[in-house]
Chain A
Amino acid sequence: MLTILFDGIAYGMLLFVLACGLAVTLGLMNFVNLAHGAFAMAGGYVTAVLMNRSGVPFLATLPLAFIIPAILGLVLERTLYKRLYTRSHLDQVLFSIGLVFMAVAAVDYSFGSQQQLIQLPVWLQGRIDVMGVQVGLYRSFIIVICGALVVALQLILTKTRFGSRLRAAVDDPRVARGLGINVSLIFAATFAFGSGLAGLGGALGAEILGLDPTFPLKFMIYFLIVVTVGGTTSITGPFLASLILGIADVAGKYYVPSVGAFVIYTLMIVVLVLRPQGLFERAR
């Protein structure tokens, strides 16, 4: 029972790291980016390829799994995404679906359609017994890393100059620009950072979520649930939403496997209908 709770929390934390970049682009920058999972997949593949082909140790691949998707995100933002900020949501949806299709086929072409397996270092394998609860070492590792990231993000967003600039740029780009804030630079940096985080999440999650070319499509809905249910004005909303989703998903799969994802989708619809602004948000 507690083990399931623990696994659920680890899963939820992972979902949060994967999705928080989307919370920024979708929630703060108001861009419906269905291709977010593609960046996560990029991070996962960076780790998998480096480990399996070049023998780089797991931990050493993680920074790269952050940096490469971040650069990818930056390039795409500068060249393509930025043209679409002011376009209709339909355009954004179509554009990002197109990107997903391309990413799926391109990865399939380059690395094959099979699952990518990664071998965790020995000290992260296995489970230990903490006060009668079976705790997976790797999952504790994920919780620690993701927890640190959550705190850091919250601090960056609320305490730093960059954070207040970002919030200003989002609230009213025109006025922010008038005050001398370089809005497009901030958007680009944020987008790159969000993509990087997704990549890191993809690398950390390769072991738990599985990694194959259809990753962006499979998890797209989860990311969207986190963001739409969590609401988009703060970090805490999506964070709580991912924890709930993670625990519900793990527990659901364990106790009532026949019902499957049904409950989650239904819950999502109910939440969205009752509280279209998200669960943890005051209605505007």
Chain B
Amino acid sequence: MSTNIADYVRTTLVRRGRWGISEIAFWLIAAATLYFLPERHLILNEIAIIGLFALSLDLILGYAGIVSLGHAAFFGLGAYAAGILARDGIADPLLGLGAAAIAAAILGFVTSFLVLRGSDLTKLMVTLGVALVLGEIANQASWLTGGADGLQGIAMGPILGLFEFDIFGTTAYAYSLTVTFLLFIIARRIVVSPYGLSLRSIRDNPLKARAVGIPVNRRLVAIYTLAAAYAGVAGALLAQTTQFVSLDVLAFHRSADVMLVLVIGGVGYLYGGLIGAIVFKVLQDVISAWTPQYWQFWIGLILVIIVLAGREHLTERVRTFWKGMAGRSAKIPETLPKPSAREV
């Protein structure tokens, strides 16, 4: 009997893990933009970075159910780590990426123990607090970070010693897209693994998950650390491709923005962050061309409307559409947990 269940789980997971046509098409189109939209590479680069950042938030929010208002802490730490390395003469981009990932992962590991406890509200406050503390440190330690002036004098070497960064952002975009793609594959592999399945069961009901023998805290620490590393890499990409880091990378609005990006795209499936990044950036571009000073108003309005219209409902639509395109191999729709209103 137990082998039957194990077999069933295995085949389900394998089926889920299969690549759909629409997924392949998505990445082919992304790759094609390298050739067909050469004048848009700067913004495409930003989209890739924000997409990766939102993907990392999705790992903890969508798959593990940890609400965070301070995900920018890891993004900012990664950006500063990569930026400071490059300023001090270690110009190899991949080395900077690795250092940023490790730095962010360490911070993620340490702070993960803080978010294991308490209600949603406590988690929100603690994550927000961590980001604020980091922002204060970056502001005060101006000998290291440049403080409010930002980190200047970043000079990047060529990637792998072969590809120099150019002013049109083509190399930068190719670099960011490749890194995002590779990390996406890893994340995809993780969420269709038994480990990913256990995360989802924790998200849906921590008490039951614990009862069936899932080590809840260890799993959460692991995914939080991993998501932190992802966010660190995204920050490092931003630092390396724009060759500038300011306090802005740690600001509250960055945490809020990435949440918005993820919500636009849909929480709880990996393409949510990427699609959200595209929509968000295009919207931002259009609105700020139309009303440069007040684009936040419209972003806020969109957020309010999305929530009122029923976020899950919208996501469901996108997913059904996605599924229709991809056939049976697409992700099975999952809804986000609805913590009961009396949880605090």
Contacts and interface: CB of A to CB of B under 8 A. Distances in A.
Interface stretch (B29-37, B187-195, B212-220, B294-302): B294-302
B137 interface: yes
A95 B304 contact: yes
Interface stretch (B228-236, B321-329, B331-339): B331-339
Contact of A221 (B117, B128, B253, B295): B128
Given A94-B259, A272-B122, A106 B297 contact: yes
Interface in A26-78: 26-27, 30, 32
A64 B120 CA distance: 36
A94 B300 CA distance: 9
A90 B341 contact: no
B120 A273 contact: no
B294 A108 contact: yes
Interface string B298-312: 011111101110010
Interface string A206-241: 000000000001000100110010001000000000
Interface in B133-156: 133, 136-137, 139-140
Contacts of B307: 84, 87, 91, 94-95, 98
Please indicate which of the listed interface residues A102, A103, A232, A266 has the most CB atoms of chain B within 10 Å of its own CB: A102
Given A83-B308, A228-B125, A272-B122, A101 B303 contact: yes
B299 to A, nearest CB: 6
A32 B341 CA distance: 10
B293 interface: yes
Interface in A8-37: 26-27, 30, 32
A108 B295 CA distance: 11
A272 B116 CA distance: 12
Given A80-B308, A101-B296, A224 B125 contact: yes
A12 to B, nearest CB: 19
Interface in A123-175: none
Given A88-B337, A262-B140, A101 B121 contact: no
A105 B294 CA distance: 5
A80 B304 contact: yes
Chain A interface main SS type: helix
A90 B67 contact: yes
A114 interface: no
B263 interface: yes
Contacts of A80: 304, 308
A244 interface: no
A269 B129 contact: yes
Contact of A269 (B114, B120, B311): B114
